[in-house]
Amino acid sequence: MPKMTADAPLSGAKASTRRLKLEWLLAPLMLALAILLWDALVRWQQYPPFILPAPALVARKFAAVVRDGSLWYHTQLTLLEIFAGMALGLSCALVMGYFLAKSRRLERLLSPYLVAAQAVPIIALAPLLVIWIRSPGLSKVLIVALTIFFAALINTIVGIRSVQPDLVSLMHSLQASRWQILTKLEIPAAMPVLLGGLKIGVTLAVIGAVVAEFVGADRGLGYLINLARGILDTPLLFVALATLIIIAVLLYAVVSLLEHKLLAWQRIQ
């Protein structure tokens, strides 16, 4: 153990990366274990495939629908709905949240209605929206947007309000314009909360898209689940579910990566 003191911080860093690697391994290991247990359960209880298909059967189905292109056909539309719905919901929430954060009066005026709107389950509202809005694409995008809107709105308000008043004073003393205060103070200060909200938002958006497709659709992963259930093709249902999970995990990972990049300063001790 030469150069003890000089090595101390370095070895600390090494240990933490090792711990990180272990954490990365842990999740796939858990997954493998779960699949093994699932397989054992099916073998032991001899379930028919429409109740609980074996993992191998699901995997084969997965390969088949990937090969014939039908999985991508449905996934494509669901992804589109998710992205368009998030874009719409987030931009409305950001703009509205900003003004609500700035004006207590506006907040007092609108918050009862916002809370009331949030209390109506989206699943009850979705059929209505489908009836009211002729364009099936638009109604689904709107349902996704509504699903994430409230969480995004609250996070925007909390984020903008988290700005230190003395930093606002500083910006005033430096004669910053309103735009400069927004871009150089309010947005960076709110970023941790905003990204936290986005993490919740992406998973909600996936749920929103499925809800929208349940209500009325002839394409999409939600539709695929409905279809598979109707014809008792449980392996297909599992494939659609797995795809949804993969989408949610990937979206979450993208936001986490964004967080890692944008909030590097927060990790400094």
Partner 1 sequence: MSPQDSFSTAAAVETQQPAAGPAAEAWLAAEQIERQYDAPSANDAPPTRALASTSLRVEAGEFVCIVGPSGCGKTTLLRILGGLLRPTRGQVIFKGKLLTGPQPEIGYVFQHANLMPWRTVLRNVALPLELQHRPAQEIQARAQAVLKLVGLQGFEHSYPRQLSGGMAQRAALARTLVHAPELLLLDEPFGALDAITRERMNLELLGIRAAYACTAIMVTHSISEAVFLADRVLVMSQRPGRIVAQIAVPLPSPRTLDLMGAPEFASLTREVRRVIDRQHV
> Contact residues for partner 1 (CB under 8 A)?
164-167, 169-178, 180, 184-185, 188-189, 191, 263, 265-266, 268-269
Q: How far apart are CA 48 and CA 59, in angstroms?
A: 16
Q: Rounded to a whole number, what is the distance in angstroms from the first to the last CA of the chain?
A: 27
Please, what is the minimum distance in Å from the beta carbon of residue 169 to partner 1?
A: 5
Please, what is the minimum distance in Å from the beta carbon of residue 263 to partner 1?
A: 8
Between residues 18 and 172, which has the closer beta carbon with respect to partner 1? 172
Q: What 3 state SS string does 31-54 have?
A: HHHHHHHHHHHHHHHCCCCCCCCC
Please, what is the minimum distance in Å from the beta carbon of residue 225 to partner 1?
A: 42
Q: Residue 125 contacts by C-beta under 8 Å, 6 or more apart in sequence?
A: 143, 146
Query: Which of 251, 254, 237 shows the shortest CA–CA distance to 206?
Result: 251
Between residues 80 and 258, which has the closer beta carbon with respect to partner 1? 258
Between residues 16 and 162, which has the closer beta carbon with respect to partner 1? 162
Please, what is the minimum distance in Å from the beta carbon of residue 254 to partner 1?
A: 21
Between residues 180 and 256, which has the closer beta carbon with respect to partner 1? 180
Helix 234-262 vs helix 187-215: crossing angle, to nearest 10: 170
